[in-house]
Chain A
Amino acid sequence: MAANKQQGRWLGAFLIGITLACAGILGFSSGLGKVALLVGVVFLAGSLFKFMAIKPLEGKVALGAQPAAMKLIGVLVVVGGWCAATFGVHLTSSVGGRMTLAIVGLLISLAGICIVLPAACNKNAIWKA
């Protein structure tokens, strides 16, 4: 199944939902704002639920299963490197020390991007079959 009416309908609902939710956040101090937020969240949840329901109709995709645990580890490594670089600058006030910590954090993140995540995403790639 390619693009179809159902997709268009629920994309419209998604856009209405996010608009109402934002309007609700803007006017949260008023009663109307709270109602708008609630209705927006309902629209958003409904559209996402419907997206999920029509997803299987898409048919088979040329993509092997990507192991979730490995992907999660990859993301954690990437984010961990950032945390090391960012919070590391508060451990020392020397320029050299800060630069070293920033580079170490950067290398950790790069390892996540260049090693762990590609390995996870290509683990069962169809071109390997």
Chain B
Amino acid sequence: MKNFRHQFLLCLVLLLSLGAVARAATSATAEELKAAAAKAPATADLQQGDPGGSLTGTISDVPVSDTKAGITIADVANQVGQNKIGINFTWTLITGFLVMFMQAGFAMVESGLCRVKNANHTYMMNFTVYACGLFAYWIIGFAIQMGGAAGNGNLGGLQPLSSEHMLNLFGTNWGIFGQQGMFLTGHTYDVGVMVLFLFQMVFMDTALTIVTGAAAERWKFLTFCVSSVMMGAFTYPIFANWAWGGGWLAQLGVNAGIGKGYCDFAGSGVVHAVGGLTGLAVALIIGPRIGKFNRDGSSNAIIGHDISAVLIGCFILAFGWFGFNPGSTLGASGAGCLRIGSIAVNTMLAGCLGTFGAMLYMWIIKGKPDASMAGNGLLAGLVAITAPSGFVDTIGAAIIGLVAGVLVCLSVAFIEHNLKVDDPVGAISVHGTCGLWGVLSVGLFADGKSNYGGSWNGVTGSVTGLFYGDANQLVAQLIGISTLIGFVFGFSFVLNWVLDIILGQRVSAESEVAGLDLPEMGQLGYPEFVFRTEPDFMLVAERAEVA
């Protein structure tokens, strides 16, 4: 009993001492803050200018909540929080601006690969798709995609986006579509939501502009506008919700124990495969350009008018990709965001190896280092690394890019010669085929070293692929690919089929032969150019019996 009393007294003394120390420390910190505030540069000093930068950005720049009490630890902590969110907002917005500029790259690549008589029309489609997509996304698309995506700490929590429509299947709730954010009004009139909207919008618009390449030189402008609005409002947002907005694909890990759920870091699947597969659907419905295929099924090369525009456009796209992939951390401060350097290097490397893959393939097989295919190889590598960029090391990135560079050449040949689908710019192969390869490669090459706050899609741990010991992740990726092909393609095909019935997808044969600039746009892209006569195989079309 005596021992117990001694021990109790000892503990009491210890606790009181600790409390006193803590109080003293707090008091000391408060005193230190006040001392630091007192030492802050005076107005008179600042009026002299600060060429060295040592006087600007001090404790006097921290807002004080109570002027009588002076600066407190709470004020400093609040400022730290503001700084974190401010860094992340700035990062996300600037990378979003980079992605927006990719539209210029797409316009140059697609127009350069088309004939001069369609230049204005192709540029105009790439220009207008921005307006169509943004408008549709604002009125409903964003709400469907991100309406239930609350919880991202990098952007302040995004709590207004808190309503996901759920479907109960197999005794589990699966997210189907979001329900908050139409017109960005009400609770979604929020600083974090606005940043997320801008970033997600430019991604969506990238997907839309891919389709214009696959359907170039014969797509009726009116139908293109309506189709783009529908894609921005429904096709893209639905799949993006399933993958990024807390939908059922992302929940495969939590609900069914399949890896970390479907993982697509920056959108090989969500953006590129959606765009490429929709492009395939439209290209199938719209048919090949006049003169593309001969009666025996062989194809003719229809050469673009400006390879310099194509290659400069590819460089603009590669530049924009530094927004696409590193920006997908949605921040530069906080959970795993410092991987942005690794993500950017992976992006460069995959593009580099993609260029080599395509260029060498063409050089070895065809005898020349084809410029347009080298450009497509760069884009193929970039598309493929988009999904795995946040989960792989540089060796994985290089292999993914190299495979994509070769794959794009094989795919272009397969789509043209076997499927008899006319894709003037190779958009289906670059974005569709290589986008699917990118999604698959996450399940193979993810190295298990990434750490974005300790979990992904709500499952603890890092994303790990088959080559690093987790076959489960590959299953999730295969289900994602199956959904892209089965749902996204199927939905796009039916939607554009209906539009074909109502509006007609294709311009008249007369307009097509004349070139779409005058009939569809009312103005030639290059009015001072003298058009050369079309080769013989193109003139067959004028004699062809058309529907």
Contact surface of A with B, Cβ cutoff 8 Å: 1-3, 7, 11, 14-15, 18-19, 22-23, 25-26, 48, 51-52, 55, 58-66, 71, 75, 78-83, 85-86, 89-90, 93, 95-96, 98-99, 102-103, 105-106, 109-110, 113-114, 117-118, 121-122, 125-129
Is B520 in contact with A62, judged by CB distance below 8 angstroms? Answer: no
User: Distance in Å from the Cβ of A118 to the closest Cβ of chain B?
Assistant: 4
Is A105 in contact with B490, judged by CB distance below 8 angstroms? Answer: no
One of A51, A66, A82 near B485 (C-beta < 8 A):
A82
Q: Note all chain A residues with C-beta closer than 8 A to B221.
A: 3
Is B483 in contact with A113, judged by CB distance below 8 angstroms? Answer: no
Q: Note all chain B residues with C-beta closer than 8 A to A60.
A: 508-510, 546-547
> In chain B, what residue has the closest Cβ to A60?
B546
Known: A63-B506, A118-B419. 10 other contacts (CB 8 A): A23-B183, A51-B503, A60-B510, A62-B512, A78-B485, A78-B490, A85-B479, A89-B256, A127-B294, A127-B295
A66 to B143, CA, bound (A): 36
Q: Per-residue CB proximity of B379-397 to A under 8 Å, as 1/0?
A: 0000000000000000000
Q: Note all chain A residues with C-beta closer than 8 A to B518.
A: 2
One of A75, A93, A95 near B494 (C-beta < 8 A):
A75
> In chain A, what residue has the closest Cβ to B472?
A95
Is A63 in contact with B494, judged by CB distance below 8 angstroms? Answer: no
Known contacts A118-B284, A126-B544: does B233 contact A89 (CB below 8 Å)?
Answer: no
> In chain A, what residue has the closest Cβ to B537?
A127
Q: Note all chain A residues with C-beta closer than 8 A to B519.
A: 2-3
Is B471 in contact with A99, judged by CB distance below 8 angstroms? Answer: yes
> In chain A, what residue has the closest Cβ to B135?
A15
Q: Note all chain A residues with C-beta closer than 8 A to B238.
A: none
Decide yes or no whether B84 CB sits under 8 A from chain A: no
Is B506 in contact with A62, judged by CB distance below 8 angstroms? Answer: yes
Is A105 in contact with B482, judged by CB distance below 8 angstroms? Answer: yes
User: Distance in Å from the Cβ of B24 to the closest Cβ of chain A?
Assistant: 57
Is A109 in contact with B485, judged by CB distance below 8 angstroms? Answer: yes
Q: Per-residue CB proximity of B449-486 to A under 8 Å, as 1/0?
A: 00000000000000000000001101100110111011
Q: Note all chain A residues with C-beta closer than 8 A to B528.
A: none
Q: Note all chain A residues with C-beta closer than 8 A to B547.
A: 60-65, 126
Q: Note all chain B residues with C-beta closer than 8 A to A63.
A: 286-287, 506, 546-547
User: Distance in Å from the Cβ of B122 to the closest Cβ of chain A?
Assistant: 15
One of B222, B287, B502 near A125 (C-beta < 8 A):
B287
Q: Per-residue CB proximity of B134-173 to A under 8 Å, as 1/0?
A: 0110011000000000000000000000000000001000
A127 to B140, CA, bound (A): 41
Decide yes or no whether B317 CB sits under 8 A from chain A: no
User: Distance in Å from the Cβ of B317 to the closest Cβ of chain A?
Assistant: 26
Decide yes or no whether B541 CB sits under 8 A from chain A: yes
Q: Note all chain B residues with C-beta closer than 8 A to A81.
A: 482, 485-486
One of A15, A52, A90, A125 near B288 (C-beta < 8 A):
A125
A117 to B485, CA, bound (A): 13
Known contacts A11-B222, A95-B471: does B284 contact A89 (CB below 8 Å)?
Answer: no
Decide yes or no whether B229 CB sits under 8 A from chain A: yes
A14 to B225, CA, bound (A): 10
Is A102 in contact with B475, judged by CB distance below 8 angstroms? Answer: yes
A25 to B141, CA, bound (A): 13
Q: Note all chain B residues with C-beta closer than 8 A to A103.
A: 478
Q: List 21 A-B contacts (CB under 8 A).
A: A1-B508, A2-B507, A2-B520, A15-B135, A15-B229, A18-B136, A18-B229, A48-B502, A51-B502, A52-B502, A63-B286, A75-B493, A82-B490, A83-B486, A85-B486, A89-B256, A114-B419, A126-B547, A127-B544, A128-B295, A129-B295
Q: Note all chain B residues with C-beta closer than 8 A to A113.
A: 280, 485, 489
User: Distance in Å from the Cβ of B265 to the closest Cβ of chain A?
Assistant: 21
Contact surface of B with A, Cβ cutoff 8 Å: 135-136, 139-140, 170, 182-183, 185, 218, 220-222, 225-226, 229, 233, 252, 256-258, 280, 284-288, 290, 292-295, 297, 418-421, 471-472, 474-475, 478-479, 481-483, 485-487, 489-490, 493-494, 497, 502-504, 506-512, 518-522, 541, 544-547
Q: Note all chain A residues with C-beta closer than 8 A to B419.
A: 114, 118
Chain B interface secondary structure, helix, strand, loop or mixed? helix
Interface centre among B471, B545, B546 (most CB of A within 10 A): B546
Q: Note all chain B residues with C-beta closer than 8 A to A2.
A: 507-508, 511, 518-520
> In chain B, what residue has the closest Cβ to A108?
B486
User: Distance in Å from the Cβ of B42 to the closest Cβ of chain A?
Assistant: 54
Is A61 in contact with B541, judged by CB distance below 8 angstroms? Answer: no
The 3 closest A-B pairs by CB, nearest first: A82-B486, A2-B519, A59-B508
User: Distance in Å from the Cβ of A67 to the closest Cβ of chain B?
Assistant: 12
Q: Note all chain A residues with C-beta closer than 8 A to B520.
A: 2-3
Known contacts A15-B135, A22-B183, A61-B546: does B486 contact A105 (CB below 8 Å)?
Answer: yes
Is A11 in contact with B225, judged by CB distance below 8 angstroms? Answer: yes
A24 to B197, CA, bound (A): 21
Interface centre among A7, A113, A125 (most CB of B within 10 A): A113
One of B182, B185, B285, B292 near A66 (C-beta < 8 A):
B285
Q: Note all chain B residues with C-beta closer than 8 A to A85.
A: 478-479, 482-483, 486
Q: Note all chain B residues with C-beta closer than 8 A to A11.
A: 222, 225-226
One of A75, A99, A114 near B478 (C-beta < 8 A):
A99
Q: Note all chain B residues with C-beta closer than 8 A to A80.
A: 486
Is A93 in contact with B508, judged by CB distance below 8 angstroms? Answer: no
Q: Note all chain A residues with C-beta closer than 8 A to B486.
A: 78-83, 85-86, 105, 109
Is A3 in contact with B482, judged by CB distance below 8 angstroms? Answer: no
Is A99 in contact with B482, judged by CB distance below 8 angstroms? Answer: no
Q: Note all chain A residues with C-beta closer than 8 A to B288.
A: 125, 127
Interface centre among B135, B287, B481 (most CB of A within 10 A): B287
Q: Note all chain A residues with C-beta closer than 8 A to B474.
A: 99
User: Distance in Å from the Cβ of A5 to the closest Cβ of chain B?
Assistant: 12
Known contacts A18-B229, A51-B502: does B487 contact A62 (CB below 8 Å)?
Answer: no
Q: Note all chain A residues with C-beta closer than 8 A to B139.
A: 18-19, 22-23
